[in-house]
Amino acid sequence: MSVHTILLDFSMDPARLGDENGQKTVFNQLETVLKEYVPNLLLTADIKVDGGSLKILTGKKGAIVSVRLFDRGLVTVNIEYYKEDCEDPLISFKSAKILESQMKKYIVALNSQALTPIKRCLFGRYYPTSDERLLEYDIDEVLFDEQSPFQKIKIVHSKSLGNMLVLDDLQNISEADLIYTETLMQRGKENYEGKEIVILGGGDGALLYELLKEKPKYVWMLEIDEVVMKACNKYMKSICGDVLEQRKGPNYEIIVEDCMLTVKRFMQEGRKVDYIFGDLTDIPISDADCGELWEFMINILDAAFKILKTTGKFMTHGNGATSIDSLEMYEQVLMKMEPAVVFHKTKAFVPSFLEDWIFYQISFKGNDVE
C-alpha cells in the first residue's frame, strides 16, 4: 500500500493566464478532461495566490487534485490518491501520458510532461544522485532499520542490485558494487602483498575483505559504528565475507572507535604504514571549502599523511563526476597541503549510485609512482 502522486506540467502563452478570467477558462478546460479520469470530481477550494491561483478538487476514494495556474504561463496538476497493493492504479503512467496529451490539446499548451507516479508513505525507494537528481530504485523490502548513535542505518533489498546499505538516506554500497571497491583500491595497479594498511571507516567490510585477498602484512580497520558492522555482517555477506565475524585475525584488526584516536596513537608510536584508505564521508557538496565536514576531511588528510611512509599512498573516494565544483575545491585543498602532495584520479560507474564516481590516489610529491 502507498500514496501515489501523479505530476503533470504544462507551459503556455502567458497572455492566456494573465488575469482571473483567463485562468478560469484554462482551468475549466482542464477540469473537463480530469473528470474523465477521476470519478466524482468536485471543486472544493478556489484560492487566489500571489502570481496566479490554486484550485483544489476532491474525487472518489479521497483522491485530491490540485491545479496551480501561474500568470507567467505555467500550469501544474498534482493528483494524489491512496492505493492498496492489490488494487489497480487510479491513474497509471500509461493513462497519465494519455491524460497529459488530452490536456495539452484542450488548453493548447506549448509543452507538457507527465512524470512516472511517485509512490510515497512506504519504505524508501527514492535516493538522490550526488548533484541532487531524484532516482527511483526497485526496492521491495527493508531488511534492517536502526538508528545508531551516529547515523540512520538501513539495509534494503533491490531486485536488480541485491541488498544495499543506506546511511542517513543515502545509498552507500550494494551487492552489485564490486567495481566501487576495486576502483578505490586500484586492483591490478597497486601491490598490497606484504604491506601495512590502515582503513579509515569501511564499516561495511567490503574493502577489508578484498584487501585481505591481496596478502597484506597487516590491515587496521578503524570504524566507529558497531551497528553498521552488525547489519552488514548479517545482510551483506557477499561483499564482506566473514571478516566482520571476528574483530581480529592473523593479519588484520578491527578497532571500534573514532579513527582519529588510533591515528594519534600511531603518531605517538612513530608508526608508518604503506597505504591509508579514506573510506569515510564523501567530499561535501557545498559552495565553499569550509564548515564542519570540510574541517573534518582536512584534519583526516593532515593526520593520515603523518603516519604514511614517504613512498606510501592515500586512497579515497571523492564524489559524483557531475559534482565538479566540490571536486575542484577538494583538489585545491590537496594542492595546499604541506608537505606537498600529488594526486591522480580514476572514474568508475557505480551501479547503486547510477552515476560515475571519482576516486583519488594521493602521494607525497617526488615519490609518486604511476
Cell of 60: 472518489
Q: How many whole angstroms separate alpha carbon 70 and alpha carbon 13? A: 11
* Amino acid found at 266: F
CA–CA distance, 247 with 222 (Å, rounded to integer): 11
Strands 134-136 and 162-167: unpaired
Give 93's contacts (C-beta < 8 A, 6+ positions apart). 114, 116, 117
Q: HEC states along the chain?
A: CEEEEEEEEEECCHHHHCCHHHHHHHHHHHHHHHCCCCCCCEEEEEEEECCEEEEEEECHHHCEEEEEEECCCEEEEEEEEEECCCCCCCCCHHHHHHHHHHHHHHHCCCEEEECCCEEECCCCCEEECCCCCEEECCEEEEEEEEECCCCEEEEEEECCCEEEEEECCEEEEECCCHHHHHHHHCECCECCCCCEEEEEECCCCHHHHHHHCCCCCEEEEEECCHHHHHHHHHHCHHHHCCCCCCCEECCEEEEECCHHHHHHHHHHHCCCEEEEEEECCCCCCCCCCCCHHHHHHHHHHHHHHHCEEEEEEEEEEEEECCCHHHHHHHHHHHHCCCCCEEEEEEEEEECCCCEEEEEEEEEECCCCCC
Predicted model pTM:
0.85
Residues 6+ apart with CB under 8 A from 182: 210
* Domain at 178-364, CATH homologous superfamily: Vaccinia Virus protein VP39 (3.40.50.150)
Residue 279 annotated among the catalytic residues of the structure: yes
Mean pLDDT of 283-307: 76
Computed over every residue of the chain, the mean pLDDT equals: 92
Cα separation, 273 vs 210, in Å, equals 18
Find the catalytic residue in 71, 177, 274, 279.
279
Report how far residue 337's alpha carbon sits from residue 308's, in angstroms, rounded to the nearest whole number. 14
Average pLDDT of span 117-143: 87
Decide which of 1.10.3720.10, 2.40.50.140, 3.40.50.300, 3.30.160.110 is the CATH code for 2-119. 3.30.160.110
So what's the pLDDT on residue 72? Answer: 94
Within this chain, domains 2-119 and 178-364 share the same CATH topology: no
Report pLDDT digits (tens) over 209-237: 999 999 999 999 999 999 999 999 999 99
Q: Are 127 and 172 in contact (CB under 8 A)?
A: no
Tell me if 202 sits within 8 A of 208, measured CB to CB: yes
Is the per-residue pLDDT at 352 higher than 90?
A: yes
At 91, the pLDDT band (50, 70, 90 cuts) reads confident
Q: Give the pLDDT of residue 288.
A: 54
Cα of 148 vs its chain's centroid, Å: 19
Q: Is the pLDDT of residue 313 over 60?
A: yes
CATH fold of 123-172: Spermidine Synthase; Chain: A, domain 2 (2.30.140)
Which pLDDT does position 287 carry in this prediction? 53
Extents of the domains making up the chain: 2-119, 123-172, 178-364
Distance of alpha carbon 238 from alpha carbon 160, whole angstroms: 15
Among the residue ranges 106-120, 213-227, 278-292, 298-312, the one predicted with the least confidence is: 278-292
With cell 557531475, the residue in question is: 322
pLDDT reported for residue 285: 55
**What is the C-alpha to C-alpha distance for residues 55 and 264, in angstroms, rounded to an integer?**
62
